[in-house]
Structure 1
Amino acid sequence: MTGILHQQDYRQALEAIKQRIQSAQMRAVLAVNAELLELYWEIGRQLQQWQDERGWGAAVVERMARDLQDAYPGIKGFSRTSLFAMRQFHSFFRPAFESVPQAVGQIPWGHIRTLLAKVKTLETALIYARACVEHGWSRSVLEWQIEQRFHERAAQAISNFAQTLPVPQSELAQQSLKDPYVFDFLTLTPQAVERDIESQLVAQITRFLLELGKGFAFLGRQYPLTINGRDYRLDLLFYHAKLKCYVVIELKAGAFKPEYIGKLNFYLSAVDDLLRGTDDQPTIGLILCKDKDRLDVEYALRDISKPMGVSSYITKDIPLAVQSQLPTVEELEHELAHLPRAESEDSF
């Protein structure tokens, strides 16, 4: 029997079956979730109709909650609070949809209740529902993204993608960048320089990747390139799985300056020549700076042929009184040097 395990065709067949089982399980979960949401939609519709046509208010919700709990004592989810949420669910999306919207139907009920509680407009709720489907956000991540106002920052970076990349690559690239990025997990002094920011971003790479968004795989910090016998180092290098391209990020502790574009253009040309494979799309560059003037950025990017964008970032400035309690750059670099290699190649 043990000899079967070593047969290549058996191992391949077993792996294929395991993948099909996982796929079937996922489809079953999604089907059950969709059916449950259709039920909640119908309950909400009925409650809303009685309120509109017969003037029945909270009393009918309380009555139905008691009757459903008596009829199905082992089934949770039909409390008074839940039924009010179902009515809100229907009334919130009903002005634009005859049934559960497609993106909303693919996320759990807990996510939907978070949207109903924290988002004011239907358009914004749909943005978050689609993002949950695309990025696989948990409920806690969804709450965090709402607090960080993801919907106001997504696809807002100033870029030249429309002029330098073909459709749909240009649209996908634009959607992958934000402005501003929120690095509220950083604790920086007013005197912080690029290496300070870089060190802390890498030290908290999971939070950094979460803020960057799905698809970014971290390849290295101060990534070395040798060009014409000279050594250069990229602040941060990523590979984007969805865009299928390298992404070079240059960090700036101060405001944007037009000369930053020339240096990034140089790096993108080098990465395209030295690292880019035959199946890779053109390398993209992103300058992350503390502040920027939109007109300055637009002028600087106007005649640039390499795809790049410019975004600002937000951090927590800390008082001088607590600076002495923070680790130094050298201490952070020492910690990073002793991280397992798997962490330096993590992706989210």
Structure 2
Amino acid sequence: MLSELEKFILELGKGFAFVERQKRMIIDGEDFYLDLLFYHRSLRRLVAVELKLGKFQARYKGQMELYLKWLNKNERKEGEEMPIGLILCAESSKEQVELLEMHKDGIMVAEYWTELPSKKELEKKLHIALIEAKERFERQQLL
């Protein structure tokens, strides 16, 4: 599955460069493994990707924050921006993600599909995503 995800991310667009799979990080003598690590040339930053098989859980934020801080301290090179993270889950928890304000920490959550939905279902999901994005934008404008 990681191989397929790796191929998918590389197809997202220009600028992504694969760095490492199962990136080992030793913290307090304990081993941690980041699923995938990429570098984006245009953004000039590392992109950490974690794949979760189930529904999003709030604890995933802390795990990704730990990984991003470790990468920032140990892997970030001079002239690069702070690393960002992407958590891919089988199912998102929109309210938890919104309440955790993960975007402020450079962490995004997205769902992956194990099978392609019908055209009608895909159009519905895209329409809902567009409405939610507009609502978030409008709320940010009010602040």
Cα offsets for 1:210-256 (capped at 9, x unmatched): 1x322111111101122232221110000010100000001011111
Alignment match of 2:65 (pick from 245, 262, 265): 265
Cα offsets for 1:292-332 (capped at 9, x unmatched): 13211111226x85311111112328xxxxxxxxxxxxxxx
How many percent identity over aligned positions? 39
CA distance in structure 2 between the partners assigned to 1:297 and 1:306 by the alignment:
12
SS in 2 for 1:315: coil
Cα offsets for 1:30-49 (capped at 9, x unmatched): xxxxxxxxxxxxxxxxxxxx
Q: How does 1:251-290 map to 2 (within 5 A)?
A: 251-290=51-90
Question: Partner of 1:219 in structure 2?
Answer: 19
- Is structure 2 residue 38 aligned with structure 1 residue 234? no
CA distance in structure 2 between the partners assigned to 1:233 and 1:301 by the alignment:
24
- Is structure 2 residue 45 aligned with structure 1 residue 245? yes
| 2:62 alignment partner AA | G
| 2:105 alignment partner AA | K
TM superposition score normalised by structure 2:
0.73
Contact 1:268 1:306 in 2 (8 A): no
Question: Partner of 2:110 in structure 1?
Answer: 311
Q: How does 1:141-160 map to 2 (within 5 A)?
A: none
Task: Could you tell me which runs of 5 or more consecutive residues in structure 2 were left unpaired when the two chains were aligned.
Answer: 117-143
Contact 1:261 1:301 in 2 (8 A): no
SS in 2 for 1:271: helix
SS in 2 for 1:214: coil
Higher strand share: 2
Question: Partner of 1:57 in structure 2?
Answer: none
SS in 1 for 2:72: helix
Alpha-carbon shift at residue 258 of structure 1 (Å):
1.0
Q: How does 1:130-141 map to 2 (within 5 A)?
A: none
SS in 1 for 2:115: strand
CA distance in structure 2 between the partners assigned to 1:308 and 1:208 by the alignment:
16
Question: Partner of 1:201 in structure 2?
Answer: 5
Residue correspondences, number: 116
CA distance in structure 2 between the partners assigned to 1:252 and 1:265 by the alignment:
15
User: CA distance change for structure 1 residues 305 and 269 in 2, over 3 Å: closer, same or farther?
Assistant: farther
CA distance in structure 2 between the partners assigned to 1:241 and 1:267 by the alignment:
20
| 1:309 alignment partner AA | M
SS in 2 for 1:223: strand
Alignment match of 1:291 (pick from 87, 91, 96): 91
Contact 2:91 2:112 in 1 (8 A): yes
Question: Partner of 2:134 in structure 1?
Answer: none
Q: Which runs of 4+ in 1 moved over 4 A?
A: none
Alpha-carbon shift at residue 280 of structure 1 (Å):
0.6
| 2:86 alignment partner AA | L
Task: Could you tell me which runs of 5 or more consecutive residues in structure 1 were left unpaired when the two chains were aligned.
Answer: 1-196, 318-348
TM superposition score normalised by structure 1:
0.32
CA distance in structure 2 between the partners assigned to 1:273 and 1:208 by the alignment:
25
Higher helix share: 1
Alpha-carbon shift at residue 278 of structure 1 (Å):
1.6
Whose Rg is larger? 1
CA RMSD of aligned residues (A): 1.9
CA distance in structure 2 between the partners assigned to 1:208 and 1:296 by the alignment:
25
CA distance in structure 1 between the partners assigned to 2:109 and 2:24 by the alignment:
23
